[in-house]
Amino acid sequence: MPIRVLLADDHALVRQALRRLLEQEGFQIAGEAADGLEAVRLAASTNPDVAVLDIGMPVLNGLDAARQLATTRTKCILLTRHDEVQYVTEALRAGVKGYVLKSQAATDLVQAIEQVERGGIYLCPNISRSVVEAYMTKDLSTDLLTARERQVLQMVGEGKSTKDVAKMLGISAKTAESHRARLMQKLDIHETASLVRYAIRRGLVQP
């Protein structure tokens, strides 16, 4: 049976190009998503073998989508333009099994999917040894924020109001404001502009 792959990227042209590439190599596309939340929902209904996720997606970024999928049978690969240490280490901590740069997708993605499906871990060759060493020596203590707080942080970083956050997450405005206040307290950040900058540094929002 062919390996079933879920594609998640907020750019339709990227998804189309990836679909063509993977179908030519004999993979089956289980579904396509334009944001991380849709990817998680699609994974639950289609049960793909592998999910290829962009990091910088709206509503729920690729890293947090991978965190949610880490408890399922679906293995996650991040496809991104970022080769900085912080992104790679965050991905590995989130349970991601593959990390491929978009610039190398044509040559590396097929190999990554096959290796990850066999139970291995794949890092794009362009990811330097120093990145791997940084991960190995990094403090792996639990993130200060809960999954819901990270989601609220991303939405605030994207410029959404408390009312917008509440509507998108299906919670009350009071609950959304409570999440926002709690994450600001945990991070010792007291203004929205600083919160946005923090979200960008963490890779939750693209600059």
Q: Specify the range with the lowest mean pLDDT, choosing from 82-86, 131-135, 136-140.
A: 136-140
The ranges assigned to domains in the chain are 4-137, 147-201
* Record: fold of 147-201: Arc Repressor Mutant, subunit A (1.10.10)
The answer to whether 75 and 97 are in contact (CB under 8 A) is: yes
Euclidean distance between CA atoms 79 and 123, whole angstroms: 11
CATH superfamily of 4-137: Response regulator (3.40.50.2300)
Per-residue pLDDT of 60-74, as tens digits, reads 999 999 999 999 999
pLDDT for the residue 199: 82
Q: Per-residue pLDDT tens for 4-18? A: 999 999 999 999 999
